[in-house]
Structure 1
Amino acid sequence: MTHHPLAAPGRVALVFLAALSLAACDAGAKKVEDAKPNALRVVAAKPTIKAVTEWDEYTGRFTAVESVQIRARVSGYLTAIHFQDGQMVKQGDLLFTIDRRPFAMAAASAEADAKVADSTLGFARQELARAEVLRKSDTVPERTFDERTTTVRQGEARLAAANAALDRAKLNLEFTEVRAPVSGRIDTHTVSVGNLISGGDTNATLLTNIVSLDPIRLTFDVDQDAYLKYVRSMQDGSRPSLREGINTVRIALPGDKGFPRSGKLDFVSNQIDRGSGTVRMRSIVGNKDLSLAPGLFAKVQLAGTAAHDAVMIPDQAVSTDQGARVVFVVEDGKARLRNVTLGPLIDGLRLVRDGVGAGDVVISSGSQNIRAGEAVAVVDGPSGAQRNADAQTGGVIR
């Protein structure tokens, strides 16, 4: 068999190229193997330290500061209604008019009776004055003098009674105009013009009612445990007295974002309700826009603590282990499990009462597949110093 002179060198070249390719593949595999991470990558950072005030939340209901049922003080036929149902009225505004004519005539008659009594008394006093002059000369008997003195006293009494009857008649005439005793929003009228209404006693006809709106009250019930917490905080000086101090409440209506309204606590009941174990509290709330109405429900928050520095972590860092609340922290490059005692969620961060300190590095993302003691590598997490600096610039959470 005849061989070409270039066959052997060509084969050698092919073998050499194959060897180079295999070497390159081995080097690439080694580089990938070296780059493969040995630790689970997680996002972690030190807790945020914030000055916070913890707020306790309750359900409250608005009530009017003044609520008045409007009833007539005299009986008669209703002749006029001077308001539109549901409008705002001011104290002293005329609301209803009752037929004035019978009361005007009664007042005129009483005034005439008073004039007669005054005239009769004047004549009796003149007679008494003459008797006093004649008595000095013993011209008038003692009995006559006593009789004229008695006549004057009786005349004074009759005049006083007549004047009282006149005042009563004028007052009844005044009561034919039913006026608003307070400022506020009036309800619908319950009696139409032309009806005979009763007045002056417990069976008086209800005409309408008025509730004041600005300011308005918000009442809510606090359980006895929270009440005792407030009392103890007052005793150790960490919060003002519920009754004597200035306590601000925050208020939110359904649909509100956050708690945009506020009020001042102005009343705390003097006893715990035996049935519910709660104490009634009340705040006074401004209502310049008249948007709040008696009967509305609202969420109300009362400061449960004074402002204090708190350890805050992302809420997603918290998980549950056999019913206990836990977080993972990074210690010596490994994930360690910590039991924690949690507080409320404030501005997206969870308050930690116990279990985590300011110097711990808490895993906030990537903890789903972590086992305690497993090696971890922290990546892409904001520095704790930066987070703390950002938080402290915000001041006290309100």
Structure 2
Amino acid sequence: MISVSVLASLRRSVAILGVGWLIILPAAAQQQPASEILEYKGSVAAAREAEVAPRLDGLLSKINFKAGQLVNKGDLLFEFAPKSSELSLALAQASLKQAEAQLRLAEVNFRNKQILRTRNVGSEMQFLEAAAQRDIAAAKADEARANAQLAEIALQQMKLHAPISGIISRAHINEGAYITKEARDQSRLATIVQLDPIHVVGKAPAAMYFQRGGGELKSLEQTAEQREFGLILPTGEKYPHKGRVVAGAYEFNPATQTTEVTVEFPNPDYLLRPGLDVTLQSSIRTK
């Protein structure tokens, strides 16, 4: 800091020498304005959802999970009594063996007729008839093979596995129930929701949707890369993870003048659950 006596001495020196001096003293740094934080209501929704539904008629013999349990893709969930399907597969496999044996017999007969024809012993009609019988036997073998594969698939479908990883709902049916075609068309057995990551669907008002970026007026989706998204829980506490915009609606609600913005958040502890009302916060990302 420059004292008053030193300043006075400098002024006298300047007056004697006739030289102009400019003394620049440090100025206080100007504070940058705080980043604007936009807030709007949101609701938690599952990022992915899958239904477990019966594929065939059958007697439900076992349920291998409890409501709210975390299941992994491929886990066995439901088992149906397999006896009838096992018998159907056995019949289909027996029919396949018979058809393949008939095909081999038809091929032997065809080759014999072919040899006789080359030696001018057999007639042309006999040769053509043997060729047709061979083709018919081959078609029947293909049909029996397809039926055996269908029976094998039906047997596999007596066990239902988890199509995705997530939290499973309660079973909508009890052990011992017989599933019919009508029941299959009208109901599902259980629902699995993926909770990590999870989505928050926010309803952004028009005034908050349009943002100024790079001197131009842009939509919230267009400026999403420059913004970071946070959550305020119903308790008033901040959610510890940040999110990113993954989807937006193509229209505004005429009644509320809001549009949906979907933000994806990590949810490793499954703290967020579908249906929870939260507050979305959006601010310019700090570099």
TM-score, normalised to structure 2's length? 0.81
Q: Report what 2:281 is aligned to.
A: 301
Contact 1:72 1:198 in 2 (8 A): no
Q: Report what 1:149 is aligned to.
A: 131
Give 3-state SS (helix, strand or coil) of 1:291's partner: coil
Q: Report what 2:266 is aligned to.
A: 286
Q: Report what 1:162 is aligned to.
A: 144
Seq. identity, %: 24
Give 3-state SS (helix, strand or coil) of 1:49's partner: coil
TM-score, normalised to structure 1's length? 0.60
Deviations 1:204-243 (A, max 9, x none): 542221111111111112233433x23x526739999638
The 5 Å alignment of 1:51-90 reads 51-90=33-72
**Letter aligned with residue 124 of structure 1:** A
| Distance in 1 of aligned mates of 2:218 and 2:138 | 70
| Distance in 2 of aligned mates of 1:104 and 1:291 | 44
Deviates more, 1:125-134 or 1:168-177: 125-134
Q: Report what 1:262 is aligned to.
A: 242
1:188 aligns with 2:182: no
| Distance in 1 of aligned mates of 2:201 and 2:220 | 20
Displacement of 1:171:
0.8
Displacement of 1:136:
1.5
**Letter aligned with residue 135 of structure 1:** R
Displacement of 1:59:
0.8
Distance of aligned partners of 1:199 and 1:121 in 2 relative to their CA distance in 1, 3 Å threshold? same
Distance of aligned partners of 1:247 and 1:143 in 2 relative to their CA distance in 1, 3 Å threshold? farther
Distance of aligned partners of 1:225 and 1:142 in 2 relative to their CA distance in 1, 3 Å threshold? farther
Contact 1:197 1:204 in 2 (8 A): no
| Distance in 2 of aligned mates of 1:137 and 1:194 | 68
Distance of aligned partners of 1:103 and 1:50 in 2 relative to their CA distance in 1, 3 Å threshold? same
Root-mean-square deviation (CA, aligned residues, Å) is 2.8
- Specify which of 72, 94, 98 is matched with residue 76 of structure 2: 94
Distance of aligned partners of 1:246 and 1:145 in 2 relative to their CA distance in 1, 3 Å threshold? farther
| Distance in 2 of aligned mates of 1:197 and 1:132 | 55
| Distance in 2 of aligned mates of 1:175 and 1:83 | 18
Deviations 1:112-157 (A, max 9, x none): 1111111111111111112222221222222222211111221121
Give 3-state SS (helix, strand or coil) of 2:268's partner: coil
Q: Report what 2:231 is aligned to.
A: 251
Give 3-state SS (helix, strand or coil) of 1:150's partner: helix
Deviations 1:239-289 (A, max 9, x none): 996388364211111113345432111112233445543322111110101
**Letter aligned with residue 50 of structure 2:** V
Distance of aligned partners of 1:157 and 1:277 in 2 relative to their CA distance in 1, 3 Å threshold? farther
Contact 2:221 2:248 in 1 (8 A): no
Contact 1:215 1:286 in 2 (8 A): yes
Larger radius of gyration between Structure 1 and Structure 2: 1
Displacement of 1:199:
5.1
Give 3-state SS (helix, strand or coil) of 1:213's partner: strand
Contact 2:231 2:281 in 1 (8 A): yes
Distance of aligned partners of 1:240 and 1:60 in 2 relative to their CA distance in 1, 3 Å threshold? closer
**Which aligned segments of 4 or more residues in structure 1 are displaced greater than 6 angstroms?**
237-240
Name the count of aligned residue pairs. Answer: 260
* Residue ranges of structure 1 left out of the alignment (5+ in a row): 1-45, 308-395
**Letter aligned with residue 211 of structure 1:** V
Distance of aligned partners of 1:151 and 1:240 in 2 relative to their CA distance in 1, 3 Å threshold? same
Distance of aligned partners of 1:263 and 1:156 in 2 relative to their CA distance in 1, 3 Å threshold? same
